[in-house]
Structure 1
Amino acid sequence: MVTLEQVKHQCRIDHNDEDTLLLGYVAAARDHVQRYLDRTIYDVAVPSEDPDGVLDNASIDQATLMLVGHWYAHRESVSETSMNEVPMGVTSLLAPYRHIGI
């Protein structure tokens, strides 16, 4: 699970003024990642009753940090500049873990 300390390092933040905002971003990013994967992410072990569950790992955490960093830097839903996804970005990190139903 991504920690507040990791988020502050990712976003280059050295104060506590926006901790609540950052924790909200982490929760939203975790939710977004789970929905994208169509799988539940577990921190310790995947329960036997959830065959589609996935154990948290470095790729999932990095994707979460990238989302939080992006949302922190771009707080609005629109931009005046054209932005493109960075190659090997969030979706590339998550693709191997995505559940694709038949």
Structure 2
Amino acid sequence: MVYTDIKLLKAHVRADDFTDDDDYLLVLLEAAEAAVVRWTNRSIVELLSDSGCGFKSDVQQAILLLAGHWYNQREAVSSATLTEVPYTVQALLKPHQRLGGEQ
């Protein structure tokens, strides 16, 4: 289940009027949300906003950055400039990271 509205990601990657990649974008959103849950060592519920309208804003931005990065860098290695997932993602998620194995 994807909690992020695909419209947010489509706006982020500037594909608002393009529907050919919608299924692929949903896969990226699901993977990004799962990666955030694993990295923070938190449940989805703990990362949702208090208003119940999606993720907390910094978590949502990290998900969009991850999915957008993967959308633009579709291969593990590219002949173009090698890029790493922006440090910004870690900076956005660090306050939510639970250290240790407890959940």
TM-score after normalising by structure 1: 0.80
Q: Deviations over 1:52-74 (max 9, x none)?
A: x3433001100000011101101
Name the counterpart of 1:83: 83
Q: Which runs of 5+ in 2 are unaligned?
A: 49-54
Runs of 4+ with deviation above 3 angstroms: 84-87
Structure 1 residue identity aligned to 2:65: M
1:78: Cα distance to partner?
1.0
Structure-2 change in CA distance of 1:61 and 1:86 (3 Å)? same
Name the counterpart of 1:3: 5
Name the counterpart of 1:50: none
Name the counterpart of 2:96: 97
- Distance between the aligned counterparts of 1:32 and 1:85, measured in 2? 12
Matched length: 91
Name the counterpart of 2:69: 70
Name the counterpart of 1:46: none
Higher normalized helix content (fraction of residues): 2
Aligned sequence identity (%): 35
Structure 2 residue identity aligned to 1:16: T
Secondary structure of the corresponding residue to residue 101 of structure 1: coil
Structure 2 residue identity aligned to 1:101: G
Taking only aligned residues, the RMSD between alpha carbons, in angstroms, comes to: 1.6
Name the counterpart of 2:32: 29
- Distance between the aligned counterparts of 1:23 and 1:15, measured in 2? 14
Larger Rg: 1
Q: Which runs of 5+ in 1 are unaligned?
A: 43-52
Q: Deviations over 1:6-48 (max 9, x none)?
A: 0100000021111100000000000000000011122xxxxxx
Matched, 1:39 2:38: no
